[in-house]
Amino acid sequence: MTRHLIIFVCAGFILNACVQAPVFKGEDYAYISSSYPIVRVNGEDVEPAYSYDLMAGENTLVIVFHTYLKDYVCTFTWTAKPGVVYEVTDQDHRYPLTLYVWEPTNSYWASRLDPVEPSQCVQNDK
Amino acid sequence: MRSIISISLSLLIVLNSITVAVADVLPGLSSITESNIRDAAIAFVNTTTSPGLEGTVLNVDNNERQSDQWRSSLGFNAEFTLNDYTFNGYWGLKVFGGRLEDKLRFIDDNGQNVQINLTRDVVASSGSLGLSFPINQHFKLRPFLSLIASDLQSKTVFNDQYVIDNDLPSNTFRSRAQMWSGIISLDAVYSRWYGDYQINLLGQYSSIYTQSFSEESAVLDTEAWNDTLVAKFKLTGPTSLSSAGKPWRWNTYANYTNFLSHNKKSLGYQSLLEAGGGMDWQVNIKPLNWFGWEYIGFKAGLIFGDNVRGYSIGLTTR
């Protein structure tokens, strides 16, 4: 019984640590994570990255969704707010990728809010 | 491994009834072979644990057989992106529970009616691991392996007019078997939007190897290969409803499951066709900041085909 209680409490502590907001680069920064590589930020090519610190304000990101027949080069343009976490993922929506505001609801789950579709997704044959 | 990108979770109970054409003549008791008993036990475990079939409670009712079978499961499966690779990973965990109450009537060698009441209970858990290959935005192929561990308990009661062996103190027989199954599955998944409407298609083939161990029943100390085929269609569309600022979508679906290699005598059916509809609420959360959980909803449907008629109700998430 005691062992079960210890396991339960430890599991609770571990799970409790799952949903944590990232550390922001500064007060004027937002943060974005992506399931697919970010290849261009505000018109400048960058090394493919899966997270990025963004200055608050209007940002334009290009993220590539890879498949075996085509690459889908998706462009997101939106106004990033300081201290806000954004997330790009695929959910079988109309476009391959969707941008969300990522917001911790409690220690156990986060919410995906305010979906933004890409302004365009260009298909490139391989 | 970077992040989980999708999840499907099912806790589903399906109720249905089956009517099979009435036989004029009862089969002979001597027609039951050890092979039939093995097939029936493994078929029951496979129909409880096979991928793609969330749950069933079946009722077979004809001149020679009345049976009730239920199955429910709770589990999830998810894809996760692998950085710098085009393919994604895929994994899943599931627990199952199932019960079969089978009443069979036969004619013994003396021409007397014999009734056998058979009860089987199974609990099982499974783990799956595989890959997902996106061919384009709409189509993907997903091969994966599953391992299932099952515990099967059976109780057989012969009717009072018939005692199979006078040396036995009772006409009730109990047995227990532990089974493990290895399953190779291939999913073909297609998804496409037309305006506000989305179509989802899934085809799934599974090849199942089952090994059974029993210290109490030599008949259940056996192994078998089986295969199943599943086809699913789902159409979703928008509604004007919302809860907590999150929208509801309606859906209609049709699922076909064929236990290709199972003898129809094993359980009284071989294939199921289910059609129905439901509502999905776009909850869109990320539990443990680990996997995306986009919809929770409910469904209700009717079951047809292969002498099967009935209905289904359930809770679905994805």
If 0-12 CB within 10 Å is exposed, 13-18 middle and 19+ buried, where does residue B215 land? exposed
Domains of chain B, earliest start first: 20-317 (2.40.128.130)
CB neighbour burial string for B150-176, b if at least 16 within 10 angstroms, e if fewer:
bebebebbbeeebeeeeeeeebebebb
Q: Which of B3, B86, B193 sits opposite A67 (nearest CB)?
A: B86
In a domain, A5, yes or no: no
In a domain, A43, yes or no: yes
> Hey, what are B73's tokens?
């499961």
In a domain, A6, yes or no: no
Residue B124 has pLDDT above 90, yes or no: yes
Q: Which of A92, A100, A102 sits opposite B191 (nearest CB)?
A: A92
In a domain, A48, yes or no: yes
User: For residue B238, what pLDDT is reported?
Assistant: 97
In a domain, A14, yes or no: no
Q: Which residue of A has its CA nearest to B294?
A: A91
User: For residue A67, what pLDDT is reported?
Assistant: 96
Q: A70: domain range?
A: 21-125
User: What does the pLDDT look like over B48-92, one tens digit per residue?
Assistant: 776 555 555 556 666 667 777 777 777 778 888 888 899 999 988
Interface of A with B in 34-53 (CB under 8 A): 35-37, 48, 50
> Hey, what are B86's tokens?
């085009």
| Contact between B134 and A109 using a beta-carbon 8 Å cutoff | no
Q: Which of A20, A35, A112 sits opposite B285 (nearest CB)?
A: A112
User: For residue B155, what pLDDT is reported?
Assistant: 87
User: What does the pLDDT look like over B235-290, one tens digit per residue?
Assistant: 999 999 999 889 999 999 999 988 888 777 666 778 888 899 999 999 999 888 87
Q: Say what percent of chain B tops pLDDT 90.
A: 35
Tokens 């895929």, residue located:
B90
| Contact between A68 and B136 using a beta-carbon 8 Å cutoff | yes
In a domain, A8, yes or no: no
Domains held by chain A: number:
1
How far apart (Å, rounded) are the C-alpha atoms in residues A69 and A66? 9
Q: Which of A65, A93, A111 sits opposite B285 (nearest CB)?
A: A111
Chains A–B, number of C-beta pairs less than 8 Å apart: 73
User: What does the pLDDT look like over B215-234, one tens digit per residue?
Assistant: 877 777 888 898 999 999 99
What residues in B contact A86, CB-CB < 8 Å?
none
Q: Which residue of A has its CA nearest to B295?
A: A91
In a domain, A15, yes or no: no
In a domain, A45, yes or no: yes
Kindly list the residues of chain B whose beta carbon comes within 8 Å of any beta carbon in chain A: 2-3, 5-6, 81, 83-84, 86, 133-137, 191, 193, 198, 200, 284-290, 292, 294
Q: Which residue of B has its CA nearest to A111?
A: B285
What residues in B contact A89, CB-CB < 8 Å?
3, 5, 292
Give the pLDDT of chain A (126 residues) as one tens digit per residue: 677 777 766 666 666 666 777 889 999 999 999 999 999 999 999 999 999 999 999 999 999 999 999 999 999 999 999 999 999 999 889 999 999 999 998 888 999 999 999 999 999 998
CB neighbour burial string for B273-306, b if at least 16 within 10 angstroms, e if fewer:
bbbbebbbbbbbbbbbbbbbbbbbbebebebbbb
Residue with more model confidence, B160 or B301:
B301
User: For residue B8, what pLDDT is reported?
Assistant: 42
Could you tell me the end-to-end alpha-carbon distance of chain A, in angstroms, rounded to an integer? 59
